[in-house]
Structure 1
Amino acid sequence: MSVQTRIEEKLASLEPVYLAVENESHMHHVPPDSETHFKVTLVSARFEGLMPVKRHQTIYATLADELAGPVHALALHLYTPQQWQTRGESRPDSPNCRGGGGR
């Protein structure tokens, strides 16, 4: 099973209204077909009343095995349904990577 699939399955436990797990490894200085850099956009009513740090901690706990192993970087964009609607239901773009070592 791919790392991305494992992440998606584990994050489903948070009952997302919207979930996008994007493998952004190709944008970084890693071998082809790597699964090391991900962007997660997750919208869940479970985030109601939680400060951003607590939302991140929830994800870190859920993905502890992946973060201890193959996942090197994880960009998190976590919203309540109301926040997501206010954003116009759009995901933020990722910045361009300069390719390891600032090249």
Structure 2
Amino acid sequence: MTTTIDKAKTGQQIRLLMEKRGVTVRDVKNALSLACVQSVYHWLDGQSMPTLDNLYALSDLLEVPMDMLVCGNRRYDPGKDIPEGAERLFRYYRLIQDCMAA
């Protein structure tokens, strides 16, 4: 199976995180020094994806890791290399990821 990014789901995820943080499309445009808001609307509608630099800046603006912005068909298991004593934290992480996917 080829690993792919789902642009529509990624756009929905970005929109959800923006709403949770109270960030507007204009806020994103200004924070990322974009020429116009149309690029942001294209991301949110799943027509295109932010560049890697813009994903990085967007993750900082929304205060989430980049992995929380991008949705695809890859199954990521952060629990593979769990530091001792952190098992509970990663169980919560998986629960949150599952809830967000639902």
Bin the TM-score by the shorter chain: under 0.3
TM-score (norm 1): 0.27
Q: Which has more radius of gyration?
A: 2
TM-score (norm 2): 0.27
* Larger proportion of helix: 2
